[in-house]
Amino acid sequence: MVITVGSSLPKTELFETSPDDKKTLADVFGMKTGILFGVPGAFTPTCDQTHLPSYLKDYEQLKAKGVEVIACMAVNDSFVMQAWGKATGAEGKIHMLADIKADTAKALGVDFDVTPVLGNVRCKRFAAVIRDGKIAAIEVEPDNVGASCTLAKISTNTSERDLLRG
């Protein structure tokens, strides 16, 4: 299934701080306005050096534009995601969500099989604006892993696409 603008959030389980900390995207976003972005893996070069840092750099600007919640999702375990959040300074700003079996990535239609390289199915690089429990806008990298259309600057740049306007 490929999720589109207007779709409700999938009810799949994610994990934040530990295997006991189960939640859904609805638990994380509620009826708030937020950004969910997905990455192929914690600590991987583009994810660690470019994608996540773009949201940290523009965090205050996104908040000023009305973004109430920011979450990052990857097919990793909760301990890796928590460690990555601490290592990058995302802790307390960005929800670091572990999609341990790629169920959420599959439900969103942003999964891809990179078993030969990374050992399993991973999440394509994407960014989505969530508003009132639904997808308000979504961008998926055309090559699954590049970072040309899903960085935070796209979310704040009205000349390319204002992801915050529903």
| Strand arrangement, sheet containing 95-98 | 22-23, 14-15, 95-98, 69-74, 33-38, 126-131, 134-140
Coarse DSSP helix, strand, coil percentages of the chain, rounded to the nearest 5 percent: 30, 25, 45
Q: Does the pLDDT value for residue 165 go beyond 60?
A: no
Would residue 47 show up in a list of annotated catalytic residues for this protein? Answer: yes
What's 117-133 look like in SS3? Answer: HHCCEEECCEEEEEECC
Q: Does the pLDDT value for residue 145 go beyond 60?
A: no
Q: Does the pLDDT value for residue 120 go beyond 50?
A: yes
> Going from the N-terminus, what domains does the chain have, and what CATH number goes with each?
14-156 (3.40.30.10)
Q: Measured between alpha carbons, how far is 32 from 43 in angstroms, rounded to an integer?
A: 28
- pLDDT band with cut points at 50, 70 and 90 for residue 47: confident
